[in-house]
Amino acid sequence: MNTNGSEPMPKLGSEVVFKYPLMSASTVAPLSYTEIDCQSGAKFIEINVQEQKFMAWAVVDPSAPLVTRKIWIVGTGTPIPVDAVEYIDTIHTVHQRNPRIAVPGGSQQTEVEYVWHIFAGKEVSQ
């Protein structure tokens, strides 16, 4: 039954959403990647920052075999690696600006916004 008790529950499939930690948001560079072990056929649905780490969420079949995939984090204007075959998401992060680095025009801005584009590499069997 659903939460109000008036209808039966729908038939459930075999897929679930899993979360994969990627890398620290404070140490990411304009071209970074991390390798993750995930189920074959994972459909990535979002990348976001949680507890200062980039995280990926994907719809997976838990019974599928594990594969290894690179998850690329690419800054705007940075060439995309040829093995980054699947676009996942674009996210914005805000970081404290290093006061020792000069800003054109002498801006006293204390925070810098970055835009990251996230791609997945090909599946590699384990």
Model pLDDT, residue 102: 54
Does residue 26 fall inside a structural domain?
A: yes
Q: CB neighbours of 40 closer than 8 A, spacing ≥ 6?
A: 64, 65, 66, 67, 123
Q: How high is the pLDDT of residue 114?
A: 87
The pLDDT, as a whole number, for residue 70 is 98
Q: Which domain holds residue 34?
A: 16-90+116-125
pTM (global) more than 0.85: no
Domain count, the chain: 1
Question: Domain for residue 107, yes or no?
Answer: no
**20 falls within a domain:** yes
How many whole angstroms from its chain centre is CA 70? Answer: 11
Query: How do the pLDDT tens digits run along the chain, 126 residues long?
Result: 566 667 888 889 999 999 999 999 888 888 999 999 999 999 999 999 999 899 999 999 999 999 999 999 999 999 999 999 999 999 998 876 655 555 556 566 677 788 999 999 999 999
- With respect to residue 3, please indicate whether it lies within any of the assigned structural domains: no
Q: What's the confidence (pLDDT) of residue 108?
A: 63
- Does residue 42 lie in a domain region? yes
**3 SS3 class:** coil
How much is the pLDDT for 4?
Answer: 67
The conformational region for residue 41 under phi > 0 = left, psi -120 to 50 = alpha, else beta, is left
Task: Determine, yes or no, domain membership for 98.
Answer: no
